[in-house]
Structure 1
Amino acid sequence: MTDVLIAGSGPTGLALACDLALRGISVRVLDQRSGPHRESRGKGLTPESLEVLGRLGTGERIAATGTRGLVLRKYFDGAHVNDTPDTGGGLLIGQWQVEEILRDRLAGLGVRVEYGTRVTGLAQDPAGVTARLADGRSVRAGYAAGCDGGHSTTRELLGIPFEGYTEAKATMVVGDVRAPGLSREYWHQWFTSEGAGIMLCPMPGTDTFQLQASPETDGRGEPLPATLEGFRRIFDRCAGVPGIRLTEATWLSDWRVNVRRAARMREGRVFLAGDAAHVHPIAGGLGMNTGIQDAAALARTLAAVPTGTAGAGALDGYEAERLPAAERLLADTTERHRRVLAAVREPGRGTEAGMR
């Protein structure tokens, strides 16, 4: 029987799996996707997350892949206003790159992600957890962890409420694009006096930019879905840089304000971590980082119990530590988001308003 079954192979699930495997605890990692993605998504690691990843033996490769000290170049109504160095001490790196490095580390520890494997049921007894899979198989483990994102199947199967709110309309479109001819030395941030904006952040080790922009709207004021053609129109309207044309959108998504947390992060032998336990505004770039911190805390908890170094009551320690952290996270990122929305209406200010 596997010691710990992990659903989801994002940064949270992979960090948890690596941490447990390094402690000699057997793990299996299941993911319902058909394979790895190459989407930038979360794009920054804090010093705290870098410390965790360093302990997992991935620090050198992470540092070599990402970049530090990116300069934020601010424009207002098309004119360059100023440049602001990022002095936060973090690392710019795409989420897919973090996942690739962790996945390779995990493979080196003898564990490979099992793609195309969807959990459809969970049953618990005093000795362990049985996960039913979509193909009819069952997997037995001592404990399980749902690291399967904001739409977590694990959370739904456990019947744990996801408390909070989601705004009805998308407030941003995001994606990965190419912008041949645009300088990759800056995170370009164009805002207008009308409140619109578009940002292009160069992703290290690639020739792509992560795009974030105010969505286009239809005749009724409803936001339009993300498309390459829409990206181009927004860029021409907000930036208007001659000779620059956006191409090859490899990721397209809509984003809306979503502030929720699980009512609890443990149900018996099953735990929640990362976006499965909490989702929040993106200001400050704390999503991937908080998931990694969840993983570190859960690994400590699970390592203590199977090895007999602590009683079963130690299982309560994970939720006692991380549920209040999730509550603080939601309040903090909501305030950061408010500050950013106010800041971008002032010439020369941008996303740095949400980094502190």
Structure 2
Amino acid sequence: MFEPATLKDIAIALGLSTSTVSRALRDTYEISPKTKKLVLEYAEKINYRPNPIAQSLKERRTKSIGVIVSEVANQYFSQAINGIESIAYDKGYHVIITQTHESYEREMINTQHLASRGVDGLLISLSAETKDTGHLSALHDKGLPIVFFDRIAEEIHTHKISANNEKGAFEATEHLIRAGYKKIAHLSSSAHLSISIERLRGYTKALNQYGIALNPDYIKNCPHGGMFQEETESAVLELLNLKEKPDAIFVAGDRLSMGCLTVFKSLNVDALNDMAIAGFSNSDMLDLLKYPLTSVRQPAFEMGQIATTMLLQLIESKRPVTEFENKVLDTKLFLR
């Protein structure tokens, strides 16, 4: 069994007290340069590293933050995680990443596990199944710093950062309308999610502005955000089997966009001539596809950076924080 070197090991080897070794490693003024040099050289020789558990007990901090996302493989979340790590590691914090796979139960388990591991704070984007945020409220009320990004909980009073989903949805739908499509369907994740509500609002606003009546049959929700392909396939088939089938779809999610194209391919639906698509997607793979897919791109990396900065401010604040920011970043429409 691996046993790392300790302060006591150095002290015994050099014939010093553990307190002297500790002070030498911390470079305090009361230890002579000669002793410091002796201790530092020996510590380097035996590859001594401070015990993070002992340090966390002393400082009452683990210097780690927990991140809860639906899926790391999702391009948006992988870019956001890169942003999170770019700030966290630079500030001396470790990042523990967990995935919910859009499951409420997994979200609860991951949250409790991270809290029991003593993380200093949580960055979370809610799962598609999550309607009750009581598990997060309980931890927040006990003083655990929590920051929401992308999919937020309105009822928890803390920092939140999201993209301008309404504007992005409006622009994507408007693009389809200006391209000549009038029967535009909307494929989205769970209806209760903040991003779904905001994107539906943008879609509806664009239809209203261009005098197109909203058809409730054209709105389809996938309760797991397309995590299961059969869910996306079922929704697309329902649209294709309508008596007056749509001629375009505004798809409100990265995984849903790719899932929709997969269904089109299996059914030999031509995304250029039979049914057009515009959607939210941060995937660079879209440029390689046979059919051009105009997409709304979110500033995922920047969102991750800002969310982490917000969380670290909460963690390191010397007094209770009572004023919180709800930050909204602009999206960009990429025409293809």
**Normalising by structure 1, what TM-score?**
0.30
The structure with the largest strand share of the pair is 1
**Normalising by structure 2, what TM-score?**
0.31
Structure with higher Rg: it is 2
The structure with the largest helix share of the pair is 2
